[in-house]
A and B are shown apart, each in its own frame.
Chain A
């Protein structure tokens, strides 16, 4: 009953005309960045953060969350029509989606991707609604030791799941922690490495860092060579799947939804992993596995459902623990903090309106995406025809203006360019961005909790092992780090790295 009351309150906020408009803008922008290859949801959310300063916090969260799940919808369009994934979570859709398009079945492929995404997205939101509140209550028992260990576990899991070498990923995470120490120390007030620059007193700006690492670095990598996009067809017909398509796809969509949601809760590039897991599972369960890769609708329906459900699942650690599960959620966390909202165990009870309005807006956003996306496919086809050489200067100018308008300071632009160079070189040297971003965001919180835990335990380093929950988190970290030394696990990880590496290339 309480939940329904909260939902109704959330609906009141979400249905306000302004919030409806921002939900619409969010899902539309999300679909667009999903459609456009070379611009992911992380960069898109970072780009829109400065614009969100002028918008109330609830509307900001509604809009930015819309970008995230909207991108999952949009990514499939490019995979199916161009055979280039619009974003990483749609790589697997290329396999069967593009083959379907080549056979003249682009319409049903796009239609089923949209319906699968809608079903999974809606179930995913129900999942958040059911899981997040009890998980928040559980997290209330957390002290500084648990928080520190949990954040450490988040970083270790993302390192374990990422596609780089463990040593390199550990190095980049520690480097992120160090960068996070720049600025005023939150306990003693001491200035650290600010060199008298006012803009650095609050630490390295998260937005210039993310825009540099994901926006500028990505564009610079893309201009290295001309990537021509060739549309397989610019006329898409019969978007509504047939009864036969539904019969084949219903169970894969439902399985993809459940799988994606639970994979999403775990830290790491969950939407990407969930699509691979869903595809592999469907192929294994299928009576006709040989059809996969030749234009089988199941190969589109399952993974597309999985990545949408995973994007919903990834919201749970953010809302309940204040911990981002991946780099997109890390940028969302930055948005919460900029607007003075601190996600964590108290978030749902402190800001019920924001949480429940966000939930209701996600239902609405999913409906909007379904209603709008199919009719808008001709528009996305036109967007795909805009050549990258014309598009990239516009993205860069958006980055520059966005980052300047944070504090109307050129220091922020310099920081963004610096992080752009760093991100470009790190990609070349095969370092992962996700551990760096996560460590940079979590660093200040980790430092504060580490020092508080040590202060409270009078310098007992075993406090992290004496508290049961903290001990479990530290145990998971230890197992993950040392498991890499086990040959079987190492091989599996290397295999996953190869697959993810191919997808990133």
Chain B
């Protein structure tokens, strides 16, 4: 846990300092007339201070708690693939269009994460895409990118 606490502290220290320095480029104002930079400045300092405190607390702590980040050997692959699929959906939404990208997204997750048979994959991906189209495009009349298929 020590390593994770240190990593988290560094992230929050960085964030706190970032907001503090950024707030200086805004008008911090005075206590009589606080400006737009007032809260980010002081809250940034507070966050940085607490992050330093957590670093010190972690460094002087004698408790060694063994924490396993991923519970199974291939957990990281599944986690990584879901994130990549989400990013790919966002990137391909415009070029491929809503229908195709939704079908591919569901199909990929079904096949790659906890691998399903081809029939289950194709039928579930097709039905969920159809359901999404009926609900969001036909019923709620939302506009989605049409992409290369044109629908």
Contacts and interface: CB of A to CB of B under 8 A. Distances in A.
Interface of A: 51, 54, 167-168, 170-171, 174-175, 177-178, 181, 185, 187-188, 190, 192-193, 216, 219-220, 223-226, 388-390, 392-394, 396-397, 400-401, 404-405, 408, 410, 413-414, 417, 420-421, 424-426, 428-431, 447, 450-451, 454-455, 458-459, 461
Interface in B44-87: 44, 46-47, 50-51, 53-54, 57, 69-72, 75, 78-79, 82-83, 85-87
B138 interface: no
Given A390-B120, A397-B132, A451-B34, A181 B87 contact: no
A454 B32 contact: yes
Provide the main secondary structure of the chain B interface.
helix
A51 B140 contact: yes
Given A224-B79, A404-B93, A454-B31, 5 more contacts: A170-B50, A171-B12, A175-B12, A392-B113, A401-B132
A429 B4 contact: yes
A192 B136 contact: no
Contact of A429 (B8, B38, B132, B142): B8
Given A175-B12, A404-B144, A410-B93, A428 B69 contact: yes
Given A219-B82, A400-B89, A408-B143, A393 B36 contact: no
Interface centre among B31, B39, B54, B144 (most CB of A within 10 A): B39
B136 A428 contact: no
B87 to A, nearest CB: 6
A224 B75 contact: yes
Contacts of A405: 136, 140, 142
Contact of A177 (B43, B83, B109): B43
Interface string B2-26: 0011011000100110010010001
Contact of B86 (A226, A420, A425): A420
Nearest to A428: B69
A389 B132 contact: no
A192 B26 contact: yes
B1 A175 contact: no
A171 B86 contact: no
A224 B109 contact: no
A96 B55 CA distance: 43
Contacts of B8: 168, 425-426, 429, 431
B126 interface: no
